[in-house]
Amino acid sequence: MTNAVQQVVVHGGGVAAAMAALAVGRAYARLGTDTVWVDTGEAPAPHAALIAPPDLATFHRLLGIDEAALLRHAAATIAMGQQFAGWSGGDDAFLHAYGDAGSAFASLPFVQHWTRARAAGLRVALEDFCLAAAAAKQGRTGAPREAATRQAVKTGWHLDAPGYAKLLRAACEQADIRIVAGADAVVHRGGAGLDRIELADGEQFGADLFIDTDGALIAALDPGETAARPVFCDRIIRASAPAFDPLPLYSRVAAHPAGWLTLIPLANRTAIEFAYDSASLADADAPAALAAALGRPVDAEPSAPLAATARPRPWVGNVVAVGPAAGDPPPLDGAELLLLQLGIAQLVLLWPIDRAQMPEADIYNEELAGTRARVADFTAQHFRLNARTGEPYWDAARAAPISTELAAKIDLFAARGMFAHYNHEAHVEDSWALVMAGHGVTPRSFDPQALLTEDQALMAEFQRQLRAVASDVHAMDSHADALRRMRG
């Protein structure tokens, strides 16, 4: 290919820039593509942590990052889901686990049989049939030698953000990616794209393709092209507490009167995120509210803003915005790393063949806009389905506008335990089912074919699945043993 992309400049800092530079370097250096990372100096906040979805484990293989390195440098622990507490008021909690919501039976998804049984008086929660949820609650992980359930159990990571950023940077250095410090670069346009950027010391970098993670480059080509989505909280306080012992396999998201509190278990500390709505809780009162939610004061950073904007066209000309430059991720469900990974992976997949044309941009923009919308829908369901009463913040969150796609998903599941499926879905149907059922949505009816199974046979199958879940959990490793094995 005589007109191939040969020079790439990644502009930005922190996790996003390092991941983009490393992915491009490892994917295309052997084809003659030279990658330079202009590091603008952004870095994760000292107390920041990340929740990595299960798909990141596959992406790490492209990046050349192994489990032992994550444990050594990013204080990593295994993530098997997120627990949501108090979203219905009181002490109620459920687990969105990364696994199957029961085992399919008689050619139907398990949720159809569960719905039928609930209507007949069954009081066992859907998550109790989920191997990943049962294992996570009992501190067990890994694959049993002889699985009885045949259910998928997926694992992600809890990661210390500053340590993860340093690990990715070190991997870039090992991959011979040139890293240049360069904040406040001057942007020089050329035609419909960028020609070069100029650093403060006069050094200039031209490129066939610019990857922007801080937003300065894409803004020069497409100023003002951002769209807002509903923001459920506009402020966040990050802090740390001592590590849990034993380490849980899930993070905990607990609702409070003006937002939510997330506890992320790391090997060396517990990362704390206290998100709140400044119209419901004043900044001056937020530290005391955080201390009350935790039951004790902690050393915390000052509150920081949470935004909710996105670029409809992250790829313009020869500039591709990824990570923060493409938009602000929803602040739940590990969306930050999920969207970053999907954005970079899609760019690697749609790598431009001709540096002068780049028709791939239109496809990329459509894919990323759709993916971002579906990820935002997954987060928005928590707020639409919350059942807290008598609190202005949560009443307003429940009444906030939602997309027509999310409304259709909720309505169809509530009607018959099925899901409307759209393009660009980022979460599997069992994840949607576990969250909606956890929030108290029990379908009113079910697939009529579920009636073809006799009552006794259905009850026997339920008992078999519960026994199989218990057996498989017993055969799994403890969290500590799994981490010890990975270190070895």
Answer whether residue 451 shows pLDDT above 70. yes
Q: Per-residue pLDDT for 459 more than 90?
A: yes
Mean pLDDT on 132-149? 89
Say yes or no to pLDDT of 358 above 70.
Answer: yes
Q: What pLDDT, in 10s, does the model give residues 226-239? A: 767 677 999 999 99
Residue 1: is its pLDDT beyond 70?
no
Residue pLDDT, tens place only, 284-319: 999 999 999 999 999 899 999 998 889 999 999 999
Contacts of residue 423, Cβ cutoff 8 Å, sequence gap at least 6: 370
Q: Check whether 397 has a pLDDT greater than 80.
A: yes
What is the pLDDT confidence band of residue 266, given thresholds at 50, 70 and 90? Answer: very high
Q: What is the pTM of this model?
A: 0.95
Whether pLDDT at 46 is above 70: yes
Residue 271 has pLDDT above 80, yes or no: yes
Q: For 404-425, what is the mean pLDDT?
A: 96
Mean pLDDT of the chain: 95
Q: What is the mean pLDDT of residues 398-407?
A: 96
- The pLDDT value recorded for residue 349 is 96
Give me the pLDDT at residue 144, please. 79
**How many other CB atoms sit within 10 Å of the CB of residue 222?**
18
CATH class of the domain defined by 7-78+159-229+308-374:
alpha beta
**Residue 291 to residues 241, 304, 362, 472: CA-CA distances in angstroms?**
11, 17, 48, 39
Domain spans in the chain, listed from the N-terminal domain onward? 7-78+159-229+308-374, 98-153+377-478, 235-305
8 Å CB contact between 104 and 110: yes
Residue 424 has pLDDT above 80, yes or no: yes
What does the pLDDT average to over 165-169? 98
What is the percent of the chain with per-residue pLDDT over 90, rounded to a whole number?
Answer: 90
